[in-house]
């Protein structure tokens, strides 16, 4: 789609743009049920379905998956919950029939990445609010199409980035808003997670069509792509700290990648040099480093590190003119406030003092939800926005911006690590958008 086409779409969206745009959340009480369809009942979808069935305001009307075993698991959960008159869709393109149903308000998509954008587009074009697991898109073209379709139809699209709801992250967000860090200068984040076991390879170092679970499709991205292919867990929270698309925006991006050794070594170590997969050439560098510059002058360093042995870490760091917080150290330092100059102090006390109202209100409801309760909050945010007919906490502009980092980092690396210009998916609305839009104290 050409830039002139994008400009034309934006200039003619009117009220539709307001729905997908940046107004303050209007706190209306609306207790009606949300009639929901679920596309994808794998590892992620199964947990999400369980959370839906725990709620008293979600009515699951239809499920879709190409795997008969997944459908069977979903049906079993729904039967146990007393759900009747369930729509079941199993063909490759049958999700299109699901989104055409007139008895659905919203669709949640938990399928392999390459299917996220096409399914979300089909949902919005049929008047269904779209909730999409991360990332919302794989290519820049898909990011643009999602934004423009949301604007044209007036139907929101929310990426289900649950790390934005991590308890300590939300406390730090409150600390940022209260000015403890002073003026923000720099942030760091990333996805640093050894994915070799279970995610990229199954026992016997299998991946691809013969594997089960994420190894069936996820590893292929490491074969064909070289960039930060999973940026949203880190950049989502950092974007909230820095008011991205809400008074600030990313301007340029530069990425570099190391050589690739880890995945091949894993195959050799666990399958031998004669294993069929030992001849596969992986394109993804073992460590990808991305630097983002912001319109207000801040910088962000984003890491992708999933092919080597290491403990899990998202590597958060927030630094400003008055202090600093580091996730891995679980520590903070605030000039004039910390008890000892030039010495870290534990962050625990600050996290208790600045605990977000959402966690105070919904702690018991989040018990047992995946990822330490974060999955409850991200689903709750989507469901409540559908019920109240207000913009979701993570809107289509944020979803596209965070997801676009993958394609942009691939471009930068392919150009010899040259900087690339970061697109403005908001068409200038970021400059006047309120930083307070997003995570309210209600949902």
Instruction: Note whether residue 436 is domain-resident.
Output: no
- Do residue 106 and residue 211 come from a single domain? no
CA distances from 393 to 25, 168, 233, 397 (A): 9, 18, 16, 11
Strands in 331-334's sheet, in edge-to-edge order, are 345-346, 331-334, 323-326, 317-320, 184-192, 299-305, 287-294, 250-257, 420-421
- Do residue 93 and residue 232 come from a single domain? no
pLDDT of residue 438: 64
Q: What is the CATH number of the domain that holds 29?
A: 3.40.50.720
Instruction: Note whether residue 216 is domain-resident.
Output: yes
Half-sphere exposure of 134 (CA within 13 A, CB side): 24
pLDDT of residue 434: 85
Last residue of a domain, which of 162, 185, 200?
A: 162
Instruction: Note whether residue 437 is domain-resident.
Output: no
pTM value?
A: 0.93
- Do residue 129 and residue 252 come from a single domain? no
- Do residue 158 and residue 295 come from a single domain? no
- Do residue 313 and residue 376 come from a single domain? yes
- Do residue 211 and residue 338 come from a single domain? yes
Instruction: Note whether residue 204 is domain-resident.
Output: yes
Divide the 443 residues of the chain into consecutive groups of 10 and give the mean pLDDT of each group: 41 36 36 93 96 96 97 96 94 97 98 98 98 98 98 98 97 97 98 97 93 94 98 98 97 98 98 96 98 98 98 98 98 97 97 96 96 97 95 96 98 98 98 78 82
> What's the domain count of the chain?
2
- Do residue 157 and residue 168 come from a single domain? no
| Full domain range(s) for residue 206 | 164-431
- Do residue 193 and residue 103 come from a single domain? no
pLDDT of residue 432: 94
- Do residue 91 and residue 188 come from a single domain? no
Q: How far apart are the first and last CA of the chain?
A: 35
- Do residue 44 and residue 118 come from a single domain? yes
pLDDT of residue 435: 80
Last residue of a domain, which of 113, 128, 162?
A: 162
- Do residue 69 and residue 174 come from a single domain? no
- Do residue 266 and residue 354 come from a single domain? yes
Last residue of a domain, which of 112, 128, 162?
A: 162
């Amino acid at each position: 789609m050409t830039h002139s086409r994008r400009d034309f779409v934006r200039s003619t969206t009117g009220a539709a743009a307001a729905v997908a745009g940046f107004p303050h959340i209007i706190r209306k009480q609306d207790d009606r049920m949300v009639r929901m369809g679920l596309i994808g009942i794998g590892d992620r979808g199964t947990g999400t379905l369980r959370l839906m069935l725990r709620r008293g305001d979600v009515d699951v009307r239809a499920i879709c998956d190409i795997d008969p075993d997944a459908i069977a698991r979903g049906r079993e959960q729904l039967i146990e919950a007393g759900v009747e008159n369930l729509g079941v869709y199993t063909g490759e393109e049958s999700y299109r029939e699901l989104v055409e149903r007139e008895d659905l308000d919203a669709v949640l998509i938990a399928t392999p990445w390459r299917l996220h954008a096409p399914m979300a587009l089909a949902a919005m074009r049929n008047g269904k609010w779209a909730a999409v697991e991360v990332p919302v898109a794989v290519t820049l073209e898909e990011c643009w199409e999602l934004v423009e379709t949301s604007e044209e139809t007036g139907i929101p699209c929310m990426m289900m980035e649950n790390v934005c709801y991590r308890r300590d992250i939300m406390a730090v967000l409150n600390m940022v808003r209260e000015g403890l860090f002073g003026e923000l200068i720099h942030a760091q984040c990333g996805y640093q997670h050894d994915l070799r076991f279970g995610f990229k390879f199954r026992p016997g170092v299998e991946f691809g069509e013969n594997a089960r679970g994420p190894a069936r499709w996820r590893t292929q991205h490491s074969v064909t792509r070289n960039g930060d292919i999973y940026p949203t867990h880190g950049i989502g929270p950092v974007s909230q700290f820095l008011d991205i698309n809400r008074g600030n925006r990313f301007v340029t991006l530069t990425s570099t990648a190391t050589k690739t050794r880890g995945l091949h070594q894993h195959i050799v170590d666990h399958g031998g040099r004669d294993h069929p997969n030992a001849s596969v050439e992986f394109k993804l560098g073992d460590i990808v480093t991305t630097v983002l510059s912001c319109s207000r002058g801040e910088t962000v360093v984003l890491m992708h590190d999933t092919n080597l042995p290491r403990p899990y870490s998202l590597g958060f760091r927030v630094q400003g003119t008055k202090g600093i917080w580091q996730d891995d150290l679980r520590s903070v330092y605030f000039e004039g406030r910390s008890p000892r100059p030039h010495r870290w102090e534990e962050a625990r006390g600050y996290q208790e003092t600045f605990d977000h109202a959402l966690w105070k209100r919904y702690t018991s409801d989040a018990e047992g939800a995946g990822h330490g309760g974060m999955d409850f909050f991200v689903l709750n945010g989507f469901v409540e926005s559908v019920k109240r007919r207000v913009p979701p906490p993570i809107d289509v502009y944020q979803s596209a911006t965070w997801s676009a980092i993958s394609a942009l980092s691939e471009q930068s690396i392919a150009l010899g690590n040259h900087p690339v210009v970061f697109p403005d998916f908001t068409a200038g609305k970021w400059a006047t958008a309120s930083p307070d839009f997003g995570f309210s104290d209600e949902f």
